[in-house]
C-alpha cells in the first residue's frame, strides 16, 4: 500500500528538477516503441530549462519522494509521467484531479497511439480520443504518432 504524504500533491520548485528528471527518465524508458535519444543529463537539462520554466508543474509525493509529475501549459498537459514502480498507485490520478481543479475549463493532451496503457488511463478519466495525426515536427512510425485524446471539460 502506498503511503502518501499528508498533502500528496504540490507545485514543483526549482530544486525538484533532479527528482522530476529521474521520474521522467525512468518512465520514458517504458516506451519501448520509441528510440531513446537522450541521456539522463539531457533529460535533467530539459526539465530544468524548458519544463520548469514554461509550464506549471505539479508533483505527487509519497514517503519515497517525488513519484509522479504533471506539466501543464494553460489547458494543455505537456507531460504526465510516473515512476515505473508507482504506476497503478493513484499518483497520476491525483495529479489529473489537481489539474482539473486548477480553474481551467478544459484539459487537452497528446498520447502515443502505441501507449495503450496510458490511453486506457486517460480515457477512464474522461478524455476522449480524437483524430490520429502527427504533431508538427513529428517523425517516425505510426506507433510513435501522438494521438489526440481530445479534451476533458468540467
80-88 long-range Cβ contacts below 8 angstroms, 24+ apart: 80/109, 81/23, 81/24, 81/27, 81/28, 82/23, 82/27, 83/22, 83/23, 83/26, 83/27, 84/26, 84/27, 84/29, 84/30, 86/2, 86/62, 87/27, 87/117
* 18 has pLDDT over 80: yes
**Domain coordinates in residue numbering, the chain:** 4-153
Strands 65-73 and 106-112 turn out to be unpaired
- The C-alpha cell at 60 is 505527487
The residue that leads in pLDDT, 131 or 106, is 106
pTM for this one?
0.85
What proportion of the chain, given as a percentage, has pLDDT over 70? 81
From residue 151, give the alpha-carbon distance in Å to each of 24, 66, 83, 89, 139: 23, 27, 25, 24, 24
**Which tens digits make up the pLDDT trace of 32-73?**
887 888 899 999 999 999 999 999 999 999 988 999 999 999
Check pLDDT > 70 for residue 148. no
Phi, psi dihedrals of residue 129, rounded to the nearest 5°: -65, 135
Name the CATH superfamily for 4-153. Answer: Gcn5-related N-acetyltransferase (GNAT) (3.40.630.30)
pLDDT in tens, 65-88: 999 999 999 989 999 999 999 999
What local confidence, expressed as pLDDT, does residue 137 receive? 46
Which of these, 73, 64, 122, lies nearest to 102 by C-alpha position? 73
Mean pLDDT of all residues belonging to the chain: 84
Amino acid at each position: 500500500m502506498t503511503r502518501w504524504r499528508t498533502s500528496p500533491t504540490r507545485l514543483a520548485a526549482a530544486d525538484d528538477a533532479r527528482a522530476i528528471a529521474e521520474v521522467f527518465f525512468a518512465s520514458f524508458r517504458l516506451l519501448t516503441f520509441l528510440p531513446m535519444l537522450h541521456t539522463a543529463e539531457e533529460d535533467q537539462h530539459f526539465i530544468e530549462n524548458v519544463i520548469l520554466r514554461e509550464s506549471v508543474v505539479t508533483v505527487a509525493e509519497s514517503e519515497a519522494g517525488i513519484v509522479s509529475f504533471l506539466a501543464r501549459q494553460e489547458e494543455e498537459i505537456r507531460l504526465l509521467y510516473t515512476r515505473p514502480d508507482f504506476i497503478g498507485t493513484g499518483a497520476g490520478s491525483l495529479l489529473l484531479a489537481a489539474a482539473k481543479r486548477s480553474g481551467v475549463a478544459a484539459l487537452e493532451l497528446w498520447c502515443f497511439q502505441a501507449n495503450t496503457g496510458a490511453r486506457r488511463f486517460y480515457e477512464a478519466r474522461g478524455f476522449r480520443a480524437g483524430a490520429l495525426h502527427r504533431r508538427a515536427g513529428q517523425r517516425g512510425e505510426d506507433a510513435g504518432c501522438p494521438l489526440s485524446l481530445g479534451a476533458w471539460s468540467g
